[in-house]
Amino acid sequence: MLNSIKKYFKRAKEEISKEYSINFEGNKSLDPENKNQVGLWTGVDLDGTLAHYDRSTPHDKIGEPVPKMLTLVKDLINNGIRIKIFTARAQDPEQKPIIREWLKTNGLPELEITNMKDYNMQWLLDDRCIQVERNTGRLIFKD
């Protein structure tokens, strides 16, 4: 397993410079008209994913937006995908107004803010995740 994690980090370094986009055409999991999608949502982590993060940054500050992620989130919203900001900050009620102001400043609507998964979470975009194949424990590495 340790070798798999090392391999993951090697691939992650290679991925940093790649450009990504989502093809909404014909993708039922991203189709807001898809009846099976009612209630589904995508979680987007804040610190280190949607906003730059440095451990020395005070907790009452949120970093500058990560341009690629900001564009992706706006594209998802514009295509009818329900987005929630999925952040540990949500456990502190004093953080929510700070997050809402950051969203507004960066051209995003007042999105839901949570730190809890539920059965309707479809995806999670996060800088700390390693995907695991359901029911197997096998780490998934995308080429």
pTM, to two decimals: 0.75
6: phi then psi, degrees, rounded to nearest 5: -60, -40
Strands ordered across the beta sheet of 112-114: 112-114, 83-86, 41-44, 121-125
Q: Token digits for 143? A: 């080429």
Domain residues of the chain, as ranges?
Answer: 39-143
Give 84-105 pLDDT, tens digit per residue.
999 999 999 999 999 999 999 9
pLDDT at 18 over 90: no
Name, in order, each residue with C-beta under 8 angstroms of 59's C-beta and a sequence gap of 6 or more: 89, 92, 95
Fold for 39-143, please state it.
Answer: Rossmann fold (3.40.50)
